[in-house]
Amino acid sequence: MQTIEMLKSLCQANGVSGAEENALAVAEQLCEGLGACHRTVHKSLVCQVMPPQQGRPHLLLDAHIDEIGLVVTYIEEGGFLRVGQAGGVDRRLVMGSPVVVHAKSGDIPGVVGSVPPHIQSGEKKNPQIDEIWIDTGLDEKEVREQIDLGDSISFVGPFTQLLGGLVSSKAFDDRCCCVAVIQAAQLIRDYWRENHLEPMGLTVLLSSQEETGGLGALTACGSKKDSGDKTITVAASPTPHAEILKVAGDVLAKDGWELKVTEYADYVVPNNVVEDGECDANYFQHQPYLDTFNAENGTHLVSIAAIHYEPFGIYAGTKSAIADLADGDKIAIPNDGSNRARALLLLEANGIITLKEGVGMEATALDIVENPKNVEIVEMEAAQIAGVRDSVALAVINGNYALNAGLNAGTDAIATEDPNSVSAQTYANVLVVKEGNENTEKTQALLKALTSQEVKDYINETYSGAVVPIF
């Protein structure tokens, strides 16, 4: 395939950061015959052109495959979509742009809109991302049936051949470099073969999520550790887990260990990197979530200790008190199974809803049997809830995401879980490793440090009741 054809096929593929599947499928076709390809847990594409060889260098050619775009954050009355940005979107250039919403039901065309600039002045002529919306032409009912919060949105733009042998396209950063590294790998491989050379291994990495922090490039950093290695790698949520681990790292250092913590903003990748052996352990979740994740994904992860408990809280949005709720008000809750149930139980404990008797930790919105205020339960990614409080009456937020947003369950929440409740006892945050690694030297050293008096004192002194040690 000629270079222009490769560029066109890859640039026209959709691959907003974090949702690169379509672009990856095209890239796999372009790499056919180049080497064995596989996708990583970070949604990067790895093509092994020449296998690694012990004692020889290994050449890695990397370019990121994701593109900037938008993400659905809220559905307004009338069916208009409010959005957040995925990557460094230049808001000056998006007004009136055609877009595609990548919904589970299929791709839905739309257009970016805002208040027209000729009736605005000053800075308002350059609207912020949260001041624009997407119009798909669908009514509100159709939108809610077909589009979910968190769906990615890509920009639409033609692939144009300009004069002088030049081309332009959307997603040119960095799809042109993806084509470049694929073709470079082909040239290198062919030269080595023609000259009977095998000086080193050769891998092509088309990495994901560069526009939103470079997560996919971590694939290139993974390595198997020697048995005598004194480095412990842990995947964790930023707050409070990574903060607590820093103290544990100081404790470990006294015994000659080095603790390396990689922070993640989601609830999926930290489990995948432990399952795949990229990290020794993770610290971000509770047991019900771990059980659900193992069942749904076929992973083999086990908890070895409960470390702390984070009170779930109801926080003010447009309403400052539960008593202020009006008919039809919206309440945002997490959309993952275990945290969804926990949020619903908290709403029930505060008289907002009544759940089916005995449903317990399996509760979903379908189990609501009484809803006096006819509140609308809005389910969304846990990490997004704190950022949409100005669009909902109340928000039920996980302890770590509340802390990230500068909120403290002990001082800022309207209501929190009773420490003696089943939820509080069940949803302790646990240290997790892959099955079979429970008693390794690394695991036991990490466990000892994380349950030390130094860590307990730090938690009590730092979080003022928003985080509670339970060891």
Tokens at residue 187, please? 């040239």
Report pLDDT digits (tens) over 8-34: 999 999 999 888 999 999 999 999 989
pLDDT at 218: 65
Instruction: Copy the structure tokens of residue 220.
Output: 């290139």
Instruction: Dig out the tokens for 37 from the structure.
Output: 């390809």
Q: Are strands 160-161 and 231-236 parallel, antiparallel or unpaired?
A: unpaired
Cα Dmax for the chain? 79
Averaged pLDDT, 277-287:
93
Cβ-contact 441, 448 below 8 angstroms: no
Paired residues of 334 in beta bridges: 380
Beta-carbon count within 10 A of 21 CB: 14
For the chain, the straight-line distance linking the first and the last C-alpha, in angstroms and rounded, comes to 61
Indicate if the pLDDT at residue 113 is higher than 90: no
Contacts of 399 (CB under 8 A, 6+ apart): 240, 310, 311, 312, 313, 409, 466, 467
Q: How confident is the model at residue 85 (pLDDT cuts 50, 70, 90)?
A: confident
Give the model confidence (pLDDT) of 57-77 as tens digits: 889 999 999 999 998 888 888
pLDDT attached to residue 89: 84
In 219-336, where does DSSP find H-type helix?
Answer: 243-253, 269-275, 287-297
Q: What is the pLDDT of residue 79?
A: 92
- What's phi and psi for 376, nearest 5 deg? -95, 120
Sign for the pseudo-dihedral over CA of 161, 2, 16, 152: positive
The continuous run of DSSP H or E covering 70 comes out as strand 69-75
The pLDDT value given to residue 220: 55
CB 359 within 8 A of CB 368: no
Residue 278 has pLDDT above 50, yes or no: yes
- Give all domains of the chain, ordered by start, each with its CATH number: 3-67+171-219 (3.40.630.10), 69-160 (2.40.30.40), 228-310+437-464 (3.40.190.10), 313-426 (3.40.190.10)
Angle at 24 between CA 148 and CA 144, to 5 degrees: 10
**Measuring CA to CA, which residue among 257, 297, 260 is closest to residue 275?**
297
- How confident is the model over 329-386, as pLDDT tens digits? 999 999 887 789 989 999 999 999 999 999 988 899 999 999 999 999 999 988 889 9
The one-letter amino acid code at 319 reads K
d(CA 364, CA 344): 7
Q: Which pLDDT band, with edges at 50, 70 and 90, does 226 fall under?
A: very low
- pLDDT for res 126: 62
Q: Are 386 and 403 in contact (CB under 8 A)?
A: no
Backbone angles phi, psi at 96, to 5 degrees: 75, 5
What was the pLDDT predicted at 223?
45
Of 39-48, 90-99, 124-133, 170-179, highest mean pLDDT: 170-179
